[in-house]
Structures are given as C-alpha cells and as structure tokens.
C-alpha cells in the first residue's frame, strides 16, 4: 500500500510537465452523490436521468454513474456547469434527498487520472530496481491498455502459456464489434483430452468506462498461467484449478466503447453502433447497453427504450453484434452443459451479485439453487475482504443494488441453466470510481484472484460434499433466505 502511495505521489511530481490528452476535459463539472430516502425522491432522480441524457453530445447532459431505480440507492451524478443550477433546483433542499458534493471540479480529477495512466509505467520502470516485486508475472499490469495493446498482451500470455506447457492456451476470435474490432477469447485448457472437465467463463469490459475490469481479467489470466504452469512459481491451489477447470476468458467485450472512452469521452458506457433517432425527437444517438441486451426477461425494469440513454436495451434481445457473438459462443460451449460458473466483471461499487437482477424478490428455483449461489457469493466476498479489507456486499442485483433486466448473469442462469452465475462489481466504493488509478490494478487483481479461488473452492465443496451446504452455507450465510 505504501508503495502505491509513494508511486502516486512521485507520479504527481513528474507529471506536471505532461500535456493533457485530447479527451473531454470535464473542466468545471461537479460530481454529486444523491441518496434518495423515498420512492418519490428516487423518481425525481429518474426523471432527471431521462430529461438530460448524456447524448447525443456526450457530456452535455447529466452522466449517471449508476441508475436510481429505488430509494436508498446512492447515485453519483456528473453535472456539467450549464446544468448545475437546474440540477440543484430539482434536488437540493428536498428533505428526502441527501445531496453531497464529492468534487467541485471533476476536470482536475480526470486530468490527474489521465496523467497517472501515462506516467505510471515509466515510473514503475525507474523504481523497479528499488522495489522488489513479490511475484514475477508475465505482464506488467501497470497501465490501462488501449485495444491494440490489450490484444498484444493476450497474445503474449498465450505464447508464454504454450512455452510453459504446449497446447494449453489458444486465442479464439468469436466475432467482431460494430466498428470491426475483434472479440478475442483466451482459452486455457490444461488437458484437452479430458472430456469430464467443467468450464469457467469470465468476461470483462462489457461497459466501456469500467477500465479496471479488462485489466483485472487480464491479471487473472496471467496468474492462472504463471502460477499454474510455471514450475518456479507453482501455487498448488492454482495448479489444481487448471486440473479441474477449463477457462474461457474474454477480457474486452466492448472494444469500440472502450476505445471511445479512451479517445473521446471517458464515461462512455455502451457499444458504438448507430441507432435511429429517438421517435419523439430529432436526435441520433449511438450505442446499446450490452448488459441490457441479453434475452432473458429482456425489456423490463432498469433498461431504457430510448437510444439516447446509457441503459438503452437495443431493438431486441441480442440485437448488438457483440452480445450476439458472445451468445453464439457461450451457447455452443455449453451445449453439453459443461459451463459450471459464469462470471462477469464490472466496476465500481464492490458487490458480488447473483441472479435475478430483473426484478426485486425474484430468485433462482429451486431455493437450493439460489442458496448455493448465495453461498458461493458469500465465500467469494469474504475472501476478497480478507485480501485487502475492502468490503463486498452480496445478493441479487435487484435486491442490493438496482433492478436491471437483460443482464448477462440472468441469461446464463435463467436461459442456459449454468448452475453458478455471478457478476462482480470491482473496487472501489466511489472515492475514485471509474477513475481508479492504474497503481491499483495489481492490488485489485490479486483480490479478484483470491475471490475466484474461494468461489471455485466453494463450488467444488458444494458439488462433492452433501453436508457442506447444511453445515457451512446455512450456518454462515443468508442462503436460507431464498
């Protein structure tokens, strides 16, 4: 931790001379946190969300970092200077909304984050002699990579993997995004002749602005390869993991949106396809929220039919090229019901979420299935907390966060019947939010790896030990609530 702080502090000193990028500046933008205590207050926030979408000109409207679906769901909202008085008029002074000004000028925060991402790798190189790294992974994990760099990183991982153990890793192009960028799955399969092995699906970067997510999935792949295959670094638990499971990892689900969030608008969320104009207005807006575009209970609460909204669900289930490609691939991989765990990594907020997200009070059935998933979420959260003392809340998205229909985890369990389907909202809890400095990548990555190990250990216990559920899950978790 001290090292990270030292690096950040030193980075700030050096960064002074570097020019900011050509990205959107956010100068004078304010970041508010609104906590609505009543249903009416949440409705006021929703009406602001709908009235001032961040498109067709990103950044001119309000940018909601999460969706105000219910009372007591805190919402971070980025407000441009021209809308500050209108926003405050609607919200400030209401007794049922607690309003907190987190940043008076978000431009400074964004510029600092941009500088850190540029400077951190060079800084790491200079300090590497002084800082003895505790582990020797294949990649550096010290920067949020661009699309090209990320594909190169996946390629490096695959090559190193096969040098350590031949025919173990494979890159598979499963389709392309709207603007033509590739969707690459990294397959880690230790023994391809073992037909009994179950599969684990892991995706990251479905939402463009959540940069820590692809970085974390890449980190996890590196640990699986480095500590599972390199004899000098063998970690028995990771070695065993590769014996039991095959991994299908898609680090960057939404490459078009991700690139746009680097080159133009930092808080872009959707993909980049063009949509028709809003029926009632002559606006042309871009992008589908890929995590509202899945086919299970598509079109319900927490998704919008307005193409200008951040949570636009698309014209129909799997109408986006990216989600259609993932659907095809995952369905094919699961044709023999071999996928045991489906994991999606997002940020931020620190949650481990299970189905169903489409409606409050909707749970997998039979209740035992929900209880088991809750148990896996609990042990995963507990292990991640033990790693860095960051607390994760677990439950269904609709219960503990907000209702969101058309999500990937609902589909994996509801439509494909994957037994364990979870969404992890990575750190932080809002202090940096989406602008989490690159110095955190290794820190968050190691937390995610330990969480993954705990989840798979729990699943293994649940599948092999009939007493485990009764003695460990019911006793220690909210599993009995379902």
As annotated, the active-site residues are 425
Helices (H), 194-273: 212-229, 236-244, 255-263
Residue 313: name the closest of 322, 321, 304 by CA: 304
For the chain, give the number of residues.
Answer: 482
CA 1 remoteness from chain centre = 23
Instruction: In whole angstroms, give the CA distance from residue 467 to residue 456.
Output: 17
By beta-carbon proximity to Zn ion, the closer residue of 201 and 245 is 201
Identify which of residues 115 and 346 has a Cβ nearer to Zn ion in the complex.
346
382 contributes a contact to Zn ion by CB under 5 A: no
- Determine the interface stretch with Zn ion among 71-79, 83-91, 339-347, 371-379 (rule: CB under 5 A): 339-347
The least CB distance from residue 377 to Zn ion, in Å, is 17
Residues 265-294 that bind Zn ion (CB under 5 A): none
Contact 50, 42 (CB under 8 A): no
Q: Are 407 and 413 spatial neighbours (Cβ–Cβ below 8 Å)?
A: no
Least distance (Å) between residue 207 CB and Zn ion: 3
CB of 133 vs Zn ion, minimal distance in Å: 30
Q: How far is the CB of 210 from Zn ion (least distance, A)?
A: 5
Q: From residue 153 to residue 192, what is the string marking binding to Zn ion with x (rule CB under 5 A)?
A: ----------------------------------------
Question: Which residues sit opposite 35 in a β-bridge?
Answer: 98
In the bound state with Zn ion, the residue whose beta carbon lies nearer, of 348 and 482, is: 348
Pick the closer one to Zn ion by CB: 207 or 472. 207
- Kindly tell me which residue out of 30, 49, 207, 292 binds Zn ion, with binding defined by CB under 5 A: 207
Q: Which stretch in 4-12, 163-171, 206-214, 445-453 sits in contact with Zn ion by CB under 5 A?
A: 206-214
Instruction: State in angstroms the smallest separation of the CB of 256 from Zn ion.
Output: 16
CB atoms within 10 A of CB 29: 23
Smaller CB separation from Zn ion, 363 or 402: 402
Identify the CA nearest to 392 among candidates 377, 402, 376, 407: 377
Whether residue 388 contacts residue 288, with contact meaning beta carbons closer than 8 Å, is answered with no
Per the listing, tokens 């369905």 go with 331
- Number of residues near Zn ion (by CB under 5 A): 2
- The interface mask with Zn ion, positions 291-330, x = CB under 5 A, is ----------------------------------------
- Distance of closest approach, residue 345 Cβ to Zn ion, in angstroms: 9
Stretch that binds Zn ion, among 88-96, 132-140, 203-211, 331-339 (CB under 5 A): 203-211
Is there binding between residue 346 and Zn ion (CB under 5 A)?
Answer: yes
* Main-chain dihedrals φ then ψ at residue 307, nearest 5 degrees: -60, -15
For CA atoms 266, 65, 403, 379, give the dihedral sign: positive
DSSP string, 279-300: TTS--EEE---GGG--STTTT-
Please enumerate in sequence order all residues whose Cβ is within 8 A of that of 464, keeping only pairs 6 or more positions apart, or say none: none
3-state SS class at 447: helix
Nearer to Zn ion, 106 or 348 (CB): 348
Judged by the rule CB under 5 A, the positions of this chain that interact with Zn ion are 207, 346
């Amino acid at each position: 931790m001290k090292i990270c702080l030292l690096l950040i502090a030193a980075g700030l000193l050096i960064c002074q001379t570097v020019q900011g990028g050509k990205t959107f500046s956010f100068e004078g933008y304010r970041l508010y946190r609104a906590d609505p205590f009543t249903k009416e207050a949440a409705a006021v926030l929703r009406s602001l969300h709908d009235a001032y979408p961040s498109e067709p000109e990103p950044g001119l409207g309000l940018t909601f970092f999460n969706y105000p679906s219910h009372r007591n769901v805190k919402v971070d909202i980025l407000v441009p200077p021209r809308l500050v008085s209108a926003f405050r008029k609607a919200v400030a002074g209401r007794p049922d909304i607690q309003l907190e000004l987190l940043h008076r000028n978000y431009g400074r925060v964004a510029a600092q984050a941009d500088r850190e991402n540029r400077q951190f790798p060079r800084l790491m190189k200079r300090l590497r002699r002084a800082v003895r790294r505790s582990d020797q992974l294949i990649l550096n994990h010290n920067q949020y990579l661009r699309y090209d760099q990320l594909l190169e990183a996946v390629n490096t991982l695959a090559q190193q993997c096969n040098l350590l153990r031949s025919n173990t890793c494979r890159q598979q192009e499963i389709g392309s995004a709207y603007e033509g960028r590739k969707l690459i799955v990294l397959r880690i399969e230790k023994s391809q002749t073992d037909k009994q092995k179950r599969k684990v699906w892991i995706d990251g970067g479905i939402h463009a602005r959540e940069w820590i997510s692809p970085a974390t999935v890449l980190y996890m792949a590196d640990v699986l390869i480095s500590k599972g295959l390199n004899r000098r670094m063998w970690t028995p638990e990771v070695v065993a993991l590769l014996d039991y499971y095959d991994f299908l990892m898609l680090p960057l689900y939404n490459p078009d949106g991700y690139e746009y969030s680097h080159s133009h608008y930092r808080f872009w969320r959707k993909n980049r396809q063009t949509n028709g104009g809003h029926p009632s207005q002559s606006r042309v807006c871009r992008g589908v929220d890929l995590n509202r575009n899945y086919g299970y209970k598509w079109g319900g609460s927490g998704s919008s039919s307005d193409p200008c909204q951040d949570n636009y669900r698309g014209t129909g289930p799997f109408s986006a090229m990216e989600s259609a490609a993932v659907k095809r691939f995952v369905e094919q991989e699961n044709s023999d019901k071999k996928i045991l765990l489906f994991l999606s990594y997002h940020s931020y907020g620190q949650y481990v979420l299970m189905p169903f997200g489409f409606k409050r009070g909707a749970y997998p059935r039979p209740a035992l299935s929900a209880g088991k998933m809750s148990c896996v979420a609990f042990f995963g959260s507990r292990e991640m907390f033990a790693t860095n003392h960051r607390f994760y809340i677990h439950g269904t998205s609709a219960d503990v966060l907000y209702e969101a229909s058309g999500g990937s985890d609902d589909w994996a369990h509801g439509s494909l019947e994957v037994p364990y389907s979870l969404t992890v909202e990575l750190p932080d809890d809002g202090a940096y939010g989406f602008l989490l400095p690159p110095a955190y990548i290794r820190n968050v990555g190691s937390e995610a790896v330990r969480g993954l190990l705990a989840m798979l250990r729990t699943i293994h216990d649940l599948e092999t030990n009939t007493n485990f559920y009764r003695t460990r899950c019911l006793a220690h978790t909210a599993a009995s609530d379902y």
